Amino acid sequence: MVRVRLDGSRAVTHVGPRSAHIAGLPYACYAEPGQLGGARLVQVAPLEGDPADYVAIEAAGGRFAVTMTCAANALGLVPETDYARADPATSRLALQPLADAIGVDVETAARQVLAAGAGPVLAVVEKMIDDYRLPDESAVLIGGGGGAASVTPFVGASRSTTGGSRSTARSSARSASPSP
């Protein structure tokens, strides 16, 4: 689930470690558009003792989690054949309350979510490539599970836009999880 700071400088700060599943919430991007009517952003603590900086939306159809999968779908990054695929228009509708709360457009909010969630993965990938002195052209990222369609391509793209000579890195993702 997405975490934000709503006081002072409003921003997406982290993603996780809690998931929509742990919080017992459905993903906002898989809702029917009508269920998202009147959506407003709320901060929640997924489990007792967790900080209340995770966000969800409350809408006509109930409470829904805002996730990296929602962000990736809002940007149209999830292939049509992937299990994690959701309607991009519904996904953008799901991210609108977050975008409004942090004062940006939906695309920028979605990119902030993906950057916050992929950052720790990117750091590990970069360290392994450096530690093992791997040539960039041999770095192929493969992700598994429901989040693979959101994290893996974004990490690959981040490497190609920020890594200078690492622009030859490729990214491949297949989401093989039986549930989103």
In a domain, 180, yes or no: no
Q: Which tens digits make up the pLDDT trace of 111-163? A: 999 999 999 988 998 999 899 998 877 888 887 776 788 888 888 888 776 55
**Is residue 30 located within the same domain as residue 77?**
yes
Q: Mean pLDDT in the chain?
A: 87
* Number of folded domains that form the chain: 2
- Check whether 170 has a pLDDT greater than 80: no
SS3 of 22-87: the string is HHCCCEHHHCCHHHHCCCEEEEECCCCCCCCCEEEEEECCEEEECCHHHHHHHCCCCCCCCCCCCC
Both tokens assigned to 4: 């934000």
Separation of alpha carbons 119 and 163, rounded Å: 13
Give residue 12's domain range: 2-110
What is the pTM for the complete model shown?
Answer: 0.86
**Is residue 102 located within the same domain as residue 57?**
yes
Specify the amino acid at residue 61: G
